[in-house]
Structure 1
């Protein structure tokens, strides 16, 4: 649902000691991307694990059909064996490598199966020889080693070499939140409160530990399995910030996904975990309508909307949404972070506590699905148009980027002055 993935990676914690598995010598030989022609999966369904930006292109899941683009005359079994040989032997001794399910600029996510238990897992491989990879790896491990919650993706174990870290994680096979809503056929306010209760439970737990996610959005809320009784899991802790007890609770790094960024981040003020609650306000708005509260292809205009907290309840299905649900959103999309609900307060809001009992049980599915699909289609078209424009203006890209950065700095300065009174 985001308009892009313009993320700024947070500074890695300087006092974190990683208790990783004993180091072993890395493989030698191939200097290029060893996963370049790796296994792809072409089944149907959806799957993801917690993963850092840039986003992975997640391949559909069920089935174990292995596809690659190497020499066609080479037997399939030989090709797969070659791929598996690229992994650390400690990993392949314990897990069967099944399929590549996601990739980023310095990481890969692979579906695996535990040889003894036959339990499926995901392994995220991060290339730590690159600075960005090391920073994300340290930040994410710092968080995932501390969390144990039913609604948060779980780290199982870690293997490390000199150039790569293998993070074995739970596998979420139920797909993204809004894919499930579109396929469901029925969605009411009560369904929305069930989803939000699970997410809020996870966020409250994180905040209690001094952890701020900083990139909450629908794409990072996944169903654990395809069943109707599946729980929701929070994933992607690549931008998360972990504070130890007694540390300054304020953060300063500008990061996140544009449409979900809180106003205080945009004006570069020190901020707290209340930025997660703003993002949950955006998610709640989308959950009940299939539309975005703040949206504009022009980044400057988008930020102006966010800084003013300017959104409306016009169009379908808002006339059918209860005032209590709108009050819940309003108390999260509050420009003043001090006045914003905390996770605990949100869990105690009458709309959530009553499971929307006083709300209309009208099925909002048709309007939500139509809005979601309409937006997905328009985003796809604008992306293609932008790619075409970029290719025709490649010689001007550096100059235009500098202009945009200058405009953004001026906008931030202007609104910071306004924000400070």
Structure 2
């Protein structure tokens, strides 16, 4: 894996900021950016060959597909429309994705709408979830790799926020590896994302318990900082395998979040640098307006240090030391179980509406 520090590069998927890390596989985007216009009441199979089933969620299912004209391999996400609210939310997701042309964000390629469903044709991501990959037996996770992953997450979030969009569902399952060989990641799932006007109050009451910010729990006004809290939780878990606010049940978890009740006392943080802990501490702040913004994260000392800039041999050793993924593996297994239960409940709900 090569890192190219080239702030002057303008990619087809949109410009990098001067702080962005350019990964070698950024140079060849999967396809040129497109102006997507929703095709209504047209058979998808006229333009795309539907291939194997990839997964299922609360929205419907995802299949691999191949565009007949170009032979591009893509992913088709089918959203079942049972009520008008489903259609409104699907159209919102399309509009959000149309605005987000950036290498760190899943790209929209095409869209179809019928009476019964809406289909999003998207970039195909083959590397699986980031957390699933780093717990592989043959994967060596170091703090420096964690820096690289968090840098990319912050780049993606920074671009979203620059477009006045809040993701509102940042969690490990929504950070995927582009492929199984490199270290490039993609942020996915914009189904809960919202356009944000700082001059208007926006409140939400949804999200994943372990990753939601205090203002969501309290149904207070949200902002860009709401995403940054979730980024802080992701970073904490990635480095340690521990969930900082996890309680015995959701109510206990919400209480811990409301108190911003966490620490770095576990042995998992023994070999983690002070810069990394400082980075997390400046995100897991109860007052959303005092959290680091995504743009500020990109200039934080933890994310800007480079091999040649590491000040001492001890710092270099810490950055390259293999991190134990034993606790992270347990975290991932628990999340898999939760996801399986949620999928079963979604299937049950879908069956009840048929």
Distance, in Å, in 1 between the alignment partners of 2:338 and 2:223 is: 34
The match for 2:254 is 303
Q: Are residue 241 (structure 1) and residue 194 (structure 2) matched?
A: yes
Which residue of the other structure, out of 40, 50, 68, is the alignment partner of 1:23? 40
Instruction: Give the equivalent residue in structure 1 for 2:220.
Output: 269
1:79 paired residue number: none
Residues 257 and 378 from structure 1, CA distance in 2 versus in 1: closer, same or farther, beyond 3 angstroms?
closer
Partner of 2:126: 173
Judging changes above 3 Å, is the alpha-carbon distance between structure 1 residues 95 and 270 closer, same or farther for their aligned structure 2 residues? Answer: same
Deviations 1:299-347 (CA, angstroms, capped at 9, x unpaired): 1111111111111112232111111110000000011111110001111
Preserved contact between residue 293 and residue 311 of structure 1 (Cα < 8 Å): yes
Q: 2:77 aligns with which of 124, 139, 146?
A: 124
Per-residue deviation, 1:132: 4.2
| Max Rg structure | 1
| Cα pair 1:194 1:355 within 8 Å, conserved | no
The equivalences for 1:253-268 within 5 A come to 253-268=204-219
Higher strand share: 2
1 CA distance for matches of 2:207 and 2:235?
Answer: 17
Runs of 5+ unmatched residues, structure 2: 1-35, 346-354
Q: Secondary structure at the match of 2:282?
A: helix
TM-score normalized by the length of structure 1: 0.67
Give the Cα–Cα distance (whole angstroms) in 2 for the partners of residues 176 and 162 of structure 1.
Answer: 32
Give, in whole Å, the separation in 2 of the partners of 1:281 and 1:114. Answer: 38
1:251 equivalent to 2:209? Answer no
Q: How far has the Cα of 1:20 moved from its partner? A: 4.5
1:152 aligns with 2:169: no
1:344 and 2:295 equivalent?
Answer: yes
CA contact (8 A) 2:204 2:222 kept: no
Corresponding position of 1:323:
274
Which stretch shows the higher mean deviation, 154-163 or 127-136?
Answer: 127-136
CA distance, structure 2, for counterparts of residue 247 and residue 217 of structure 1: 24
Q: CA RMSD in A?
A: 2.6
| Structure 1 residues 141-185: Cα deviation after superposition (integer angstroms, max 9, x where no partner) | 120111100000000011222222221100110111111111253
Aligned ranges 1:5-404 → 2 under 5 Å: 20-24=37-41, 89=43, 91-183=44-136, 184-228=138-182, 230-243=183-196, 248-355=199-306, 357-358=310-311, 359=315, 360-365=318-323, 367=324, 369-377=325-333
- Count residues in correspondence: 302
Sort the Cα spacing of 1:379 and 1:206 in 2 relative to 1 into closer, same or farther, 3 A.
closer
Residues 286 and 384 from structure 1, CA distance in 2 versus in 1: closer, same or farther, beyond 3 angstroms? closer
Q: 1:290 to 1:297 in 2, by over 3 A?
A: same
